[in-house]
Structure 1
Amino acid sequence: MKKNYIIVLILLLFTGTIEAQKDKIKEAEKEMSSGNLQGAITILKSIEYQIYNSNNEERAQYYFIKGNALLGLADKKIGEGENLVLAVRSYKETIKIESESGKRRYSGQIQSSYKSIKERLEKIADNDSKEKKFIDSANERYEAYLLDQKDTINLYNAASAFVNGKDFTTALKHYETLKAINYSGIGTNYFAINRTTKTENNFATNYDRELSIQAGTHEKPRTEKRQSKRGEIYKNMALLYAQNGDREKAKKVISDARIKNPEDISLVLTEADLFLESKDYESYKKTIAPILKTNPNDVNVIYNLGVLSAKAKNITEAENFYLKAVTIDPKYINAYINLSVLKLEEVATINEDMDKLGTSPVEMKKYDILKVKRDDMYKSTIPYLQKANEMNPQDEEISKSLLSVYNALEMTAEYKELKAKSY
C-alpha cells in the first residue's frame, strides 16, 4: 500500500513538472510575441534539460519558438551570424521531431524560410571571412550546406575556412566528406543580384536562379565556370595527415585520387608537390616527366611547375618554367610577377649580406662587389615588372614593386612618371 502511494506521488510530481514546462513554453511564446526575444530565449533555456521528457508535440513547439526567437534576434542584427546558425539548428530539431512523430505542424513553414536563411548565411560568411573571422565563417558556410546539400561548394568553402581558422580536425573531417562524394568543384556558378540586399547570390542551379529572377527577387544574372578543386582538396588532406605524422596516409590519399581521376592534372601536381615537401626529388622528376611530355604547351601546367620549383628553392628550374610560360603566352601576367619575385628575393639575400659587412677596406671592397651584383639583379627585374604593370596598371602591389626598384637604382625620371600614373 505504501509502495503504491509513493508511485502515485511520483506520478503527480512528474505531471506537475510537465504542466510547468507547458506554462514556460507558453510564457516564452508570449514574450516573443511582445518583442522580448531575449526574454523568450532565457525562459526556454530554464527548461532546456527538462524538455526531453515532454511529448513530441511540446518538444517540436519548444524548438520552433526557440528558432523563431533566435531568428528575430538575427533580424535585428544582434549576433546575426551566430543566431542564424543557432536558429537553423533549432529548426532542424523541430523537423526531426515532427518527421519521427509523423505530425507536421511547423515543418512546412520552416522549410519555406530555408532559402532566404541560406542566402543570409552565405552573405554573412563572406563578410566574416573578409574580417578574418574564419571559424564564424566556416560554421555559417557549413549550416548553409546543411540547408541545401546539393550546393556542395558551401561544404568546400567551410573546409577552407576551418583551415584558415586553424581548426584542422574539423577541416579534415569536411575534406574527407568531399573526397567521399568525389567533389571536384568543376561546374558553373549561377550568380544574380538580390534586389533587396544589393548583394550577389550564388544559386545551386540555373533553374533556381531563373525562378528567383521570374519572381522578381533577383536581377542581373551572371554565369562563371569553376575549375577543379580536387588538387587543392587532396593536397590539404595530405598536408593535414602529414602534419599528424601520417605521411603514408598522405601519399595514399593522392595515389587513390589519381586512380579515380586520371585526367585531373591538379592531382599530379599535388603529388609532385608532396615529393618536393619530403625532398624526394627523384620521385618528383618521375612524376612531372609525363606531364611535360603530354602537356608541353599547357601554360597553366608549366606555370604551376614553376611555382613548385620555387617552393623547393630550385630557383633556376623555377625561372626556366616561368620563362617558358611567357613564351607560350606572352600575356601570362602571373609568370612575369613570379619572375620578378625570384629576383627580388635574391636582392633581399644580397642586402642581408651587405648589412653584415663592416667598414674595413676589405669589407668595403666586398660591399662594392655585392652592390654591383644587387643592382644588376634589380635591373633584371625591371622588364618583368614593367610588363606586368603594362598589363594591369591598377595593381598597386606591382606599381609599388616597380617604384621601389626605380628608387633603388636612382631612376628618378622613371620613378616620377610611374608615381604620377599610380597616385
Structure 2
Amino acid sequence: MKSKYVILASALLISVATFAQKDQIKSAEKALKSGDAQGALTILKDAENMVVNAKDVEQAQYYFVKGNAYLDLANKKVEEGKNLSSAAETYKKLIDVEKASGKVKFSTQAAASITEIKGKLINSAIADSQASKHADGAKKLYDAYLLDKKDTINLYYAASTAVNAQDFDLALPMYEELKKLNYSGKGTSFTAVNKISGNEDGFNNAKDRDLAVKLGTHEKPKTEAIPSKRGEIYKNLALILVQKGRSEDAKKAIADARKANPEDSSLILTEANLYLESKDYETYKKLVGEALQKDPNNADLVFNLGVISANAKNLADAEKYYLKAIEINPNYTNAYLNLAALKLEAEKPIIDEMNKLGTSAKDMKRYDVLKAQRENVFRGVIPYLKKANELDPKNEDVSKTLLGVYKALEMTAEAKALKATM
C-alpha cells in the first residue's frame, strides 16, 4: 500500500514541477513583452535546472523566450557583444531541440534571428575597429564566423583584427584554423558606384551588378581579382609562433603551407622572411632566388623582396627591387613611395653631422658641402614623390612630404601649386 502512495506522490511532484515551469516561461514572456528583458532572464534562470527534463515543446519555448530576451538586451546596447552571442547560442539550442523532436514551431524565426545577429555582430565589430577596440571587434567577428562557418571570411577578418589588437594569443588559434581549412580568400569582386550615396557597392556576381547599372541605380562598374591571402595568413602565423619562441613550429608551418600550395609564390617570401629573422642569410638568399625564378614578372613579389631587403638594411638590393617593380608596373605607387623613403634615409647622417658643426671657417665650409649634399638628396626624391602624388593624390603623407621637399629647396612656385591642390 505504501509503495502505491509513494508512486502517486512522485507523479504529483512531477506534475507540480511541470506546471511551475510552464508558469515561469509564461511569466518570462510577460516580462519581456513589458520591456523587462533582464527580468525575463531572471525568471527563466529559476527554471534552468528543470528544463532538461521538460517536454520538447516546452524546452523549445524556453529557449525561444530566453534568446529573445538576450537579443532585446543587445538591441538596447546592454553588453551588446556578449548578449548577441548568448542569444545566438540559445537559438541554436532551440533549433537542435526541434530538429531532434521533428516538431518545428520556433526554428524558422530563430534562424532568421541568428542571421540578424550575425549582421549585428559584424557591424558592431566594424564600429569597434573604428574606435580602436580591436580585441572586442575580433571576438565579435569570430562569433559571427561560429554562427555560419561557411562564411570563412569572417574568421580571416577576426584573425587580422586580433593582430591589430596585438592580441596574439587570440589570433593564433584563428590562424591555425584558417591553415587547417586551407583558406585562400581568392576570388573576384564585382562593384559599382551608387548614384545616390556615391559609395562603391559590392555585388555577389557580375549579373546582379550589371542589372543595377542597367536599371540606372549604379554606374562605373568594376571587376577586380581578389588575390590569395594564404601568404599573409602563414606569414602572420609564423611570426606569432616566432614571437612565442616556437621558431621550429613556424618553419614547419611554412613548409606545410608550401607543400599544400606549391603555386603560391607569396609563401616563398614568407619563408624567406622567416629565415631572415633567424639570421640564416644563405637560406634566405636561396629562397629569394627561387621566388624570382618562379615568377620574375610579378610586381608584388619583386616589391616585397624590396621590403624584405630594406628591413635587412640591404639598401642597394632594396632599391634594385623597387626599380624592377616599377619597370614591371609603371603605376606601382608603393614602389615610388618606398624608393623616396629609401633615398631620404641618406638625409639623417647629413643632418646629424651638420648639427655637430661649430662656427669656425672650416666648419662653415663643411656646412656648405653638407647642405649641397642634402639638397641633392631632396632633388633625387622629387621624381618619385611627384609620381606617387600623381597616382595617389589623396595620400596626405605623400603631398606633405613633397611639399616639405619643395620648401627645403626654396621651390616656391612648385610649393604654391601643390598646396593649392591639397
Tell me the TM-score normalised to structure 2 length.
Answer: 0.84
Q: Corresponding residue for 1:268?
A: 268
Q: Deviations over 1:55-104 (max 9, x none)?
A: 55444333221221232334445554443333212212222333344443
Q: Percent identity?
A: 51
SS at match of 1:264: coil
Q: Distance in 1 between matches of 2:142 and 2:377?
A: 48
Q: Give the CA deviation at 1:32.
A: 1.1
CA 1:191–1:389: 2 relative to 1, 3 Å? closer
Deviations 1:269-311 (A, max 9, x none): 1111112212222111101112222433222221111111112
Per the alignment, residue 358 of structure 2 pairs with 359
* Deviation of the 1:326 alpha carbon: 1.4
Alpha-carbon distance, 1:14 to partner: 7.8
Residue 61 of structure 2 is aligned to residue 61 of structure 1 = yes
Residue identity opposite 2:384 in structure 1: Y
- Cα deviation code 1:325-348 (max 9, x no counterpart): 212222221111111111233424
Shift of residue 159, structure 1, vs aligned partner:
1.2
Alignment partner of 1:33 is 2:10: no
Q: How do 1:386-397 residues align onto structure 2 when only pairs under 5 Å count? A: 386-397=386-397
CA RMSD of aligned residues (A): 3.7
Contact 1:191 1:209 survives alignment (8 Å)? no
- 1:327–1:13 Cα change, 3 Å: same
- Structure 1 unmatched ranges of 5 or more: none
Matched, 1:240 2:240: yes
What's the offset of the Cα at 1:265? 0.8
* Segment of structure 1 superposing worse, 127-136 or 376-385: 127-136
State the Cα distance separating 1:238 from its structure 2 match: 0.8
Measure how far apart 1:109 and its partner are.
1.9
| CA deviation after TM superposition for structure 1 residue 267, in Å | 0.6
Q: Secondary structure at the match of 1:292?
A: helix
Q: Deviations over 1:118-154 (max 9, x none)?
A: 3333333223222222122222222322333222111
Q: Please tell me the residue identity of whatever aligns with 2:306.
A: G
Supply the distance in 2 between the matched residues of 1:382 and 1:118 (Cα, whole angstroms).
Answer: 49
The alpha-carbon distance between structure 1 residues 98 and 209, as it changes in their structure 2 partners (threshold 3 A), is farther
Map of 1:403 onto structure 2:
403
Aligned-partner residue type, residue 358 of structure 2? T
**Retained in 2: the 8 A contact 1:119–1:201?**
no
Within 1, Cα distance between the matches of 2:223 and 2:122?
18
Residues 164-203 of structure 1 mapped to structure 2, 5 A cutoff: 164-189=164-189
Alignment of 1:373-388 (within 5 A): 373-388=373-388
Per the alignment, do residues 66 and 190 of structure 1 end up closer, same or farther by CA in structure 2, a change over 3 Å counting? farther
| Cα distance in structure 1, aligned partners of 2:5 and 2:166 | 59
Distance 1:413 1:284, change over 3 A: same
Change (3 A) 1:160 1:35: same
Give the Cα–Cα distance (whole angstroms) in 1 for the partners of residues 198 and 80 of structure 2. Answer: 18
User: How far is 1:21 from its partner?
Assistant: 4.4
Amino acid at match of 1:117: I
How many Å separate the matches in 2 of 1:189 and 1:140? 24
Q: Which letter maps to 1:289?
A: G
Report the equivalent of 1:342.
Answer: 342
- Taking the aligned partners of 2:297 and 2:311, their CA distance within structure 1 comes to 22
Counterpart residue number, 1:73: 73
| Secondary structure at the counterpart of residue 188 of structure 2 | strand
Aligned partner of 2:420 in structure 1 is 420
Matches of 1:89 and 1:133, distance apart in 2: 24
Mapped partners of 2:363, 2:61: distance in 1:
82
One-letter amino acid matched to 1:359: G
AA aligned opposite 1:136: D
Distance 2:13 2:297 in 1: 81
Q: Which moved more, 1:243-252 or 1:272-281?
A: 272-281
Look up the match of 2:130: 130
**Which structure 2 residues correspond to residues 280-299 of structure 1 after superposition, within 5 A?**
280-299=280-299
Partner of 1:315: 315
Q: CA 1:93/1:155 → structure 2, altered by over 3 Å: closer, same or farther? A: same
Compared CA separation, residues 343 and 4, structure 1 to 2 (3 A)? farther
Relative to structure 1, the CA distance from residue 207 to residue 37 in structure 2 (aligned partners, 3 Å threshold; closer, same or farther) is farther
* Counterpart residue identity of residue 284, structure 2: Y
Bigger CA drift: 257-266 or 346-355? Answer: 346-355
Map of 2:84 onto structure 1: 84
- Measured after TM superposition, the shift of residue 388 of structure 1 is 1.2
Alpha-carbon distance change, 354 to 102 in structure 1, aligned in 2, over 3 angstroms: farther
How far did 1:222 drift?
A: 6.8
Q: Match for residue 95 of structure 1?
A: 95
Structure 1 counterpart of 2:181, one-letter code? I
Aligned CA distance change for structure 1 residues 121 and 11 (closer, same or farther; 3 Å): same
State the shift of 1:231 in Å: 0.3
Is contact 1:82–1:136 with CA below 8 Å preserved after alignment? no
Output the CA distance in 2 between the equivalents of 1:230 and 1:371: 47
Count, aligned residues? 415
Aligned to 1:300: 300
Moved more, 49-58 or 304-313: 49-58
User: Does 1:147 find its partner at 2:147?
Assistant: yes
Deviation at 1:261, TM superposition (A): 0.9
Q: Is the 8 A contact 1:336 1:385 kept in 2?
A: yes
User: Which stretch of structure 1 is more off in the superposition, 146-155 or 121-130?
Assistant: 121-130
| Conserved 8 A contact 1:385-1:402 | yes
1:163–1:45 Cα change, 3 Å: farther
CA distance in 1, matches of 2:162, 2:7: 52
